[in-house]
């Protein structure tokens, strides 16, 4: 079963999905950016779960509950070391490992942000291209996942992600 890839503009912490992916650091410290929003909206219990699981390797994924957030799980994908930067290769591993973790848990709907971009320092087009490429690579081999959303916070990012998807020939459904 192939999952649908959707581009969505908005706040990932409000998405009606079973799980979201957090752009984490290897220490799983919920600092700023997406991780900061998760900490603020989801509550301290998420950081407490992260503290038990940390540290993890670059590109690896740790799973916690979602605290007060509307989803069931958060998949913390280590895109960088604390204070460091991300690379397209690490982002690809994060996406692959997040999809594998979602499949292992039987998750049917997953949302992820622009991993590695923003605080991770990866140029937006390069990061989005790496994410979309991995989503395309795993699309046909998933049994449980029915929909994966790439959630872009701003309209500018959303529009640019649409352009990248079109240039790559990737259908990103409504």
- pLDDT digit string, tens, across residues 46-99: 999 999 999 999 999 999 999 999 999 999 999 999 989 999 999 999 999 999
- Residues 171, 5: contact at Cβ < 8 Å? yes
Q: Does the residue 173 lie in any domain?
A: no
Cα gap 38→48, rounded to integer Å = 13
Cα gap 36→42, rounded to integer Å = 10
Please provide the DSSP assignment of 39-53 as one string. Answer: HHHH-HHHHHHHHHH
Range of the domain at 79: 4-168
Residue 150 CB-density burial (10 A; 0-12 exposed, 13-18 middle, 19+ buried): buried
Confidence class for position 1, pLDDT limits 50, 70, 90: low
Cα gap 165→129, rounded to integer Å = 8
- Residues 62, 76: contact at Cβ < 8 Å? yes
Cα gap 68→26, rounded to integer Å = 23
Number of folded domains that form the chain:
1
Q: Does the residue 141 lie in any domain?
A: yes
Q: Does the residue 130 lie in any domain?
A: yes
Chain mean position to CA 155: 18
Q: Does the residue 174 lie in any domain?
A: no
Cα gap 163→165, rounded to integer Å = 5
Specify the CATH number for the domain of residue 113: 3.40.220.10
Q: What are the pLDDT digits (tens) for 19-44?
A: 999 999 999 999 888 999 999 999 99
Q: Does the residue 140 lie in any domain?
A: yes
């Amino acid at each position: 079963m192939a999952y649908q890839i959707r581009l969505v503009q908005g706040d990932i912490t409000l998405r009606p999905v079973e799980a979201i992916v957090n752009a984490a650091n290897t220490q799983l410290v919920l600092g700023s950016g997406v991780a900061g929003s998760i900490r603020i909206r989801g509550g301290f219990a998420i950081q407490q779960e992260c503290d038990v699981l940390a540290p993890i390797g670059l590109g690896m994924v740790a799973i916690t509950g979602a605290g007060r957030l509307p989803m069931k799980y958060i998949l913390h994908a280590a895109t960088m070391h604390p204070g460091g930067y991300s690379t397209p290769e690490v982002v690809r591993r994060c996406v692959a490992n997040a999809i594998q973790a979602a499949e292992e848990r039987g998750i049917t709907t997953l949302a992820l942000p622009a991993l590695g971009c923003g605080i991770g320092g990866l140029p937006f087009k390069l990061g989005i291209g790496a994410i979309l490429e991995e989503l395309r690579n795993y699309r046909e081999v998933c049994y449980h996942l029915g929909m994966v959303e790439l959630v872009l916070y701003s309209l500018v990012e959303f529009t640019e992600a649409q352009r990248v998807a079109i240039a790559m020939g990737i259908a990103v459904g409504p």
